Structure 1
Amino acid sequence: MNPAASTVVAVHTVPVSLPARPELVVRGAKGSHAHSDFLLVRVVTSDGIEGYGEVSATPLWSGEDGASARHFIAGLLGPALLGRPLAPVGALESLLDRLLAGNPFTKAGLATALWDAYARTLEVPLAVALGGAYRRQVPIKISLSGDGPELERAYAAAVAAGFRAFKVKAGFEVAADVARVCLARELAGPAAVLGVDANGGWSRVRARESLRGLAAADLSYVEQPVAPEDLDGMAELRAQGPPVVADESVFGRTDLIRVIRAAAADVVSIYLGKAGGPGRAVALAALAESFGIEVVLGSNGELGLGAAAQLQVACALPALSSGIPSDIIGAHYYAEDVLEWPLDSDGALVRLGDGPGLGVRPREDLLRRFH
């Protein structure tokens, strides 16, 4: 089929709300993530091809959620796409930007559905449509939270799911953070990849104190140690300790350029949601790589469709961090998934399939809700 001759004929959404597995609930400096509201998106083309996406947004993090996403897609973005050519998808992404300021997670869910439909029309995996695939499998990690027995339960659940690489939530008081991370290192052993994620919760002084106290923990990296706007503080910490990962500091291209100019990070954590979709995420990663900054795929607690999109993007990137696994956790984090068949993931790696587009589809009961 010719995607240039295919047009968008329908856009539908289905809200989904799911709790996280209690033992794996993320408790970070920005708050807890025990429950998530999602909006699943379906795009239908004139050739009868269906593409799927997922809006994964939390108000505390992005100012968006499933309700706001549904409002904008149903009342503004979806109607504007009807009758327009599917290709080039980049032109449709630009249209979304002209219609709605901000709201990158909402746009990302819709853009993912458009890219999925485009790749399915070409009958290739999305990673191929995006310029890859450069790899067939991606190393992954999971977050650990809590103190003492609570952390031990989280670690046991993560290991039972197959995870061997971790990041520990911090950004609180120095003594508690040091004790938590040191316990995680004791549990994981000296060879495991172990990082700390402060979610911007430390001041520069507390960051320096915490990292001094954690010297014996042999951290693999420190993620967003200080406030997102404190790029000078991040640059200062880069010179003193483990590699610095910019997360909250980078949503889009303008943010990334600021980080580059400030020499504030060794690695940047790219989200499909923050970037605004798969195509934008690949472009953002290419910009980072051109300045010698490594890339990992970060997570906003995506479900199966979002995790499948993360995987496709990770495989489409010419370079991906060799030392820090990505956060493609998918159904490992929730009590249930939305996919007909889960991604091929054993906790250590997630593997790319051969199917077209995202290579996955929603469960049958959710497909019926689209109708």
Structure 2
Amino acid sequence: MDIGELIRELRQTRGWSQGRLASEINERYRTALTREYVSGWERLKHQPGPYYLRALSAVLDVPLAVLESEVDRRTFLTDVAGAAIAPVIASDLLSDGFAARLSGGPSLEAWEQKLATYGTDYMSLGAADIQRRVSSELVVVQQQLDKPQLWSVAARLMTLYAKTFPGSDGTKAVHWYRMAARAADESGDDATRVWVRGRAAIALGYEGASLGVADVFADQAMAITERPSLGLLNAIYGKAHAAALRGDTATAVDLADQGRRVFDTAGSHEQTSDYAVPYWRLNVFRSLLLARLGDERGAAAAQDVARTELPASLPRFATHLDMHRGLMLTRSGDRSGGAAHAESALAALPTEKHSLTLRMLMDEIRA
């Protein structure tokens, strides 16, 4: 294993992006390292010098000798990193948890502010970075669950955490969505109960994963209340995607129409939060749904509308739309052209901004 591979593996073990690794080094050593320079290390475009080797050793908790010598670095990762790095991470989490218990933890207002920040960050950051940060928050909030109102905070954090796992594995994502639903029920807040279930339904339905579970969450959300809300909107479109993937066109179209009526009442003005569904995001839902149904004209129209209003700060969603176009091409019979179009779109997006949903969509297009 070369040093570039080792740096990448150690970085990913922590769930850090290349930018996060650069920031950690800059903060500790007051340097001006860039993400591009870290990328160069990993691609062996250039080698870290002695100064940065020491910095990497400290920041990544890896012996300097491993970075400097030609030892079998893969053996180090499997035999040493599992024993040396995991306890460091666990120690930090345990410390955070006990500190929260002893101090009483953040206030409800502080948690709501954190959730708002995560809602915005999720739209542009990679899954690994979000997963590591939210796991720490979950350790803290579980120390405060003697305060009933914080069950709603925990439920929303669990939902976000679940979204960092691929739904197709059938275990981790679904497990966390179910935990989130139970936590939401503990809150006694119907708005949270509907939102958590609706967000799980649209995540699984959009990804084309665990369709039966997506239906269950959607049906539960729709049974709690018929009052228009973003949670209900997510639930309806999650169920619509599940129907489309099963080939039930009539049900999918009917649900899409129902969802549009809910949006007219409950749609968001907020443009850049995972907790929001503005008009451009509604059309991202519709774009993929109609592409799956083979409605090329409708899908293209939804893509045009979404692109017109999509904030420039959210390039990942532009990639979604380009990949929907790739799916349309494959469904029209141009399988190689559709796959090439989608692969090109995904390759144009910086790797650290990739999401598990995009990777699963690529799998669907190739299949």
Task: Give the TM-score of the pair, scaled to structure 2.
Answer: 0.28
> Which protein shows a greater Rg?
2
Higher relative contact order (CA 8 A, sep 6+): 1
| Structure (1 or 2) with the greater helix fraction | 2
| Structure (1 or 2) with the greater strand fraction | 1
